């Protein structure tokens, strides 16, 4: 029996149940072990104050290390580039739609929102790009699970909100999407739309069981994105995006680093065959062209405190 550690949110449970069903189809019995994480408990606080994106993984990874669970199922965009000693990402499932989605009260697309419209998102990546695209809208923080965020929109607390397309589709809520936002408008977060499986180093039984779930083309893309993220030292307090896709049998990687206000955005792209080398090369290019200055600004206590965090 493989014990799968998972958060208890509807989306996390969908992802864990999906993995459980696929393992069952391969002849491997698995059971779910819901675990409440720091990020789930402290929804009224900003992520950088409770451990960043890793706040959604900490207790699950501790359960892996102590042997209370055998496998963890994560949204890859929530997984830091540095893992606890003794753990590894053992498989990436086929990536779902990586784009962001706009949901609006009056079925207006992003370009059609009224001046002064209130748009909800806590992600600094989304905030910076939204402000660059529509300086006349008001960006406000929005935390909570998918249901909570959509409820706040329906209650009129926001005119529009931005969520990940993949999560909405997985929860069967794609009919509520007003507009799919193309990467040219909102570049996705590194790993967005991908599900990652984590287990203990040396656990050959679990690694062998999930090997058939690994999707190599998706892995190449997200590895390039995460290599860039690691090279930039990006976390939840850095407005950056990265998106790789296969074009003409090569990887095309696009990325940006920005100020939270969207006033300065350093963009770049590169193509290549080796995912990690591609990520490193594009990160170096961004740093040389101004991203290093932006990252230093964001690292100062005053800027981080004022900017907040998001993912």
Catalytic amino acids? 78
Report the distance separating Cα 41 and Cα 30, nearest Å.
26
Q: Which two tokens stand for residue 129?
A: 């790009």
List of residues 6+ apart from 220 with CB closer than 8 A: 244, 246, 251, 275
């Amino acid at each position: 029996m493989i014990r799968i550690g998972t958060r208890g949110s509807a989306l996390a449970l969908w992802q864990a149940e999906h993995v459980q069903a696929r393992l069952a189809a391969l002849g491997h019995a698995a059971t779910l072990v819901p675990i409440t994480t720091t990020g789930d408990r402290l929804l009224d606080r900003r992520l950088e104050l409770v451990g960043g994106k890793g706040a959604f993984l900490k207790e699950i990874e501790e359960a892996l290390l102590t042997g209370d669970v055998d496998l963890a199922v994560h949204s890859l965009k929530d997984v830091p580039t540095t893992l606890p000693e003794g753990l590894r990402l053992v498989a990436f499932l086929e990536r779902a739609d990586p784009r962001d989605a706009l949901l609006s009260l009056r079925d207006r697309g992003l370009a059609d929102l009224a001046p002064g419209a209130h748009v909800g998102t806590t992600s600094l990546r989304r905030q910076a790009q939204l402000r660059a695209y529509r300086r006349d809208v008001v960006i406000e923080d929005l935390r909570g699970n998918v249901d909570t965020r959509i409820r706040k929109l329906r209650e009129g607390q926001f005119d529009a909100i931005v969520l990940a397309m993949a999560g909405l589709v997985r929860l069967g809520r794609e009919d509520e999407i007003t507009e799919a936002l193309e990467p040219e408008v909102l570049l996705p977060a590194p790993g967005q739309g991908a599900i990652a499986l984590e287990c203990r180093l040396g656990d050959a039984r679990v690694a062998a069981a999930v090997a058939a779930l690994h999707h190599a083309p998706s892995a190449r893309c997200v590895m390039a994105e995460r290599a860039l993220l690691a090279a930039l030292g990006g976390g939840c307090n850095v407005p950056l995006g990265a998106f790789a896709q296969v074009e003409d049998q090569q990887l095309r990687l696009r990325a940006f680093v920005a100020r939270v206000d969207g006033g300065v955005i350093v963009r770049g792209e590169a193509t290549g065959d080796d995912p990690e080398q591609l990520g490193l090369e594009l990160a170096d290019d961004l740093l040389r062209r101004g991203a290093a200055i932006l990252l230093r600004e964001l690292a100062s206590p005053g800027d981080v405190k004022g900017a907040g965090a998001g993912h």
